[in-house]
Amino acid sequence: MGKIADDPRLACEPRAAEGGSEPRVIDLSLAGKGNYSARRSALIELVWFVLEACVINNKLLPFSFVRVALLRLFGARIGSGCRFVHPLRVKAPWNLEVGDKCWFGVDVWIYNQAPIRIGSNVCISQGTFLTAGSHDMSTTMDLRVAPIVIEDGVWITSKCVVQMGVTIGRSAVVTPMSVVHRSLEAGGVYGGNPCRFLRKRFLP
């Protein structure tokens, strides 16, 4: 008989701890901020929270230049020729760097507790979620953050998730609904959950 992990019907069932005891439950009231540190005051974060809800994420406000101006006002470094389609969510504009001529589709969510750096000529399609933070699942669920780097020419297609601490190499493509949990090399097409190499983007 195969192991539980070998049977797709049982792969998600939890294993009991050694000795037959139940797996422990983490007390979420003990969760801390881990390696996260705020780079702005609570007041500035509150003001941004309101502006993000009223302007940046407003479906009735179609003007990309307004979003760019507000993001820059709150510390984002954004190059020329960038377009942010509404609605958009950005957790911390002071942790955002974007190159020139980038496109951000409908419902892109940039959850950047740590810096997210995006190169030039990058396309991030609708519904994609970039998250520079998560929780330590094995201890007290403390917050853990790590930067994300997306190099020049990358195309992240619709409804993808890019997790903390990864670098997506120059001109790579991530196919729809993929989960990027590790760094991807330049020039490849990647897809799936977990994301894996499919082929080269540019054929000889």
Instruction: Give dist(CA 184, CA 178) in Å, integer.
Output: 12
The structure tokens 């190159």 sit at 99
Specify the 3-state DSSP secondary structure of 48.
helix
State mean pLDDT over 105-121: 97
Instruction: Give dist(CA 128, CA 88) in Å, integer.
Output: 10
State mean pLDDT over 58-65: 90
Distances (CA, A) of 91 to 4, 42, 45, 173: 39, 13, 9, 25
Instruction: Give dist(CA 143, CA 124) in Å, integer.
Output: 26
Q: What is the DSSP letter of 55?
A: I
What residue segments make up the domains of the chain, in order of their start?
Answer: 39-188
Q: State in words which class domain 39-188 has.
A: mainly beta
pLDDT of 27 strictly over 90: no
State mean pLDDT over 20-48: 86
| Model confidence, pTM | 0.86
Instruction: Place 15 in a pLDDT band, splitting at 50, 70 and 90.
Output: low
180 in Cβ contact with 193 (< 8 Å): no
HSE-up (13 A, CA, CB side) for residue 187? 4
